[in-house]
Chain A
């Protein structure tokens, strides 16, 4: 059966009606069960104007990453009533994401048209009232659901009745609208459930004069031209992709004519185009943008057909090379085929192929990877390198709902992993190697500061994840407030660096059963192979024993990606006591002895 993304890939999408028509087709196929859908999300859209078409176009945009969105569109202009009524259709639609698309004209009413009839004081109070009103709606929505909330900020008009004197007013109309936006942003920063969508920036990007078709506005209260809807939905899709944990992790790059102009094997280091020349600037800036992604935690790798010595000469010694050797988590510079290289990169970095985005100027290589490794996202780099940066900026694969300390240091951590692999070669056996690493594991009960990271790990970890249960920050908060649950986090340091918070267990102290149930047990792929998981498990067993508990049970729920953990409980002395609906239940009798790995230090924080 076809995947959703196949439809996206097969369809030419130029006009609004192309998007509209594909969205309808997909919806139709879903109704008659002709499509296999891996993941469905419920999205509610609340608006102050006519937004027909957004639903179908959003279905199209999300099909690209194999997520089907079931869109509920609220009654036109009835957003406040729907939010305030806990029995409304909005809540019955069980949204995962609620989008508030309330436009400036609707919220400002007459103030939009005749702002200077009001005194400065009333302009200031209008700002406060507007912010209180919008945030009041948002907080009601948060109270009634655990959905993420996406609130549009206000489009700042480019017209003022004061014309060129607008900025001379002590508290002007434009300034007042900017204040609403500033205030919304400030007040929502700390709330992990609410996101401000910078609709004003979206309008600027597309050109404020181009957004509104006056005829459609007067005839049908359409405030955004249909031709702009695909771009708006592409922005919404970034949030949906992040909620559905479809974020990509790694950019794999070719070298010649991708990171620099020309072929180093032919022209040598002096001949490549890279630097402050007309030909070299495209590549220089492309590298700067890639570096900025690296700095926010996107992993970079190289897959290039080249002589290692030629390529490394440029990487290490070219004066304008921005992406130095340390930026790459792994490199394949050889004459093997790129498909084989890609597979071995996935193995070395220890992430799945569907986390890769591939950049290569050569169409043959791109097609080969696309055909043989359909999970890899292959970017069609334009022929003209001056368009590389624009192509990169348009990609929305790396957005996450939170950005943790661990994300920002990810590049460095993968570099440290390279050093660890080098150390392996000097060790006599695994125990010797682990001893040389001088590992310390830190165990810590959940607290407010680490909740975003805990939730993120449950959403992103696939391989070493025994149950693959995904939890939002709100769900983790609930667990942490519930005395029947314990969440133990694990951080890891060794001689090469700090890996941060990279493992966790969620434990249910089953009432009246003399049993602790491990609901979730996972470890980031970054720290696999260091037996830190054995420390975490031994700690759980020791804590249970301290609490006079007799049994600890663990579950293994098979997924397409967690096969390597299948034997984890078995290897650690658990006994398989039950298989229910494909879930294996394993039990440890605490009368038996358990051991911490002797060469790993651990500290309880």
Chain B
């Protein structure tokens, strides 16, 4: 697992107050109670601060799960190594 995978998981587990092991690519607002609209915004803001990127509003609206976050980050040249799925 890449360093950025780790960073992403740690960030999500802190903001969403969930066990780091429970986070997968399919984690989403639908299956995670704490992923409400405010925490959604905090995730965006923290991702921008931690990975030094800036998302457009369109990109934010396009996110429906963790897989989409990784896609958006990769689009901003954040490296997740060869493997594209969160372990």
Which A residues lie at the B interface, using CB under 8 A?
15-18, 20-21, 24, 50, 52-53, 213, 215-216, 218-220, 222, 225-227
Contact = CB atoms under 8 A, between A and B. Distances in A.
B60 A220 contact: no
14 contacts: A15-B11, A15-B49, A16-B46, A17-B11, A20-B14, A20-B42, A24-B17, A52-B38, A215-B44, A215-B57, A220-B41, A226-B42, A227-B46, A227-B49
Contacts of A18: 14
Nearest to B15: A17
B84 to A, nearest CB: 24
B42 A215 contact: no
Nearest to B57: A215
A220 B85 CA distance: 30
A218 B60 CA distance: 12
Which DSSP category, helix, strand, loop or mixed, fits chain A's interface? helix
A216 B45 contact: yes
Nearest to B36: A52
B14 A215 contact: no
B37 interface: yes
A21 B10 CA distance: 11
Interface residues of B, number: 18
A351 B41 CA distance: 48
Nearest to A222: B41
A15 to B, nearest CB: 6
B37, B41, B56 — which one has the most chain A CB atoms within 10 A of its CB? B41
A298 to B, nearest CB: 35
A414 B17 CA distance: 50
Interface string B5-44: 0000001001101000000000000000000011001101
Contacts of B37: 220
Nearest to A52: B38
B17 A15 contact: no
B18 to A, nearest CB: 11
A24, A52, A225 — which one has the most chain B CB atoms within 10 A of its CB? A52
A17 B38 contact: no
Contacts of A222: 41
Given A218-B57, A226-B42, 19 more contacts: A15-B11, A15-B14, A16-B45, A16-B46, A17-B11, A17-B14, A17-B46, A21-B14, A52-B42, A53-B38, A213-B48, A215-B55, A215-B57, A215-B60, A219-B57, A220-B38, A225-B45, A226-B45, A226-B46
A465 to B, nearest CB: 42
Contacts of A225: 45
A219 B45 contact: no
Contacts of B48: 213
A224 to B, nearest CB: 11
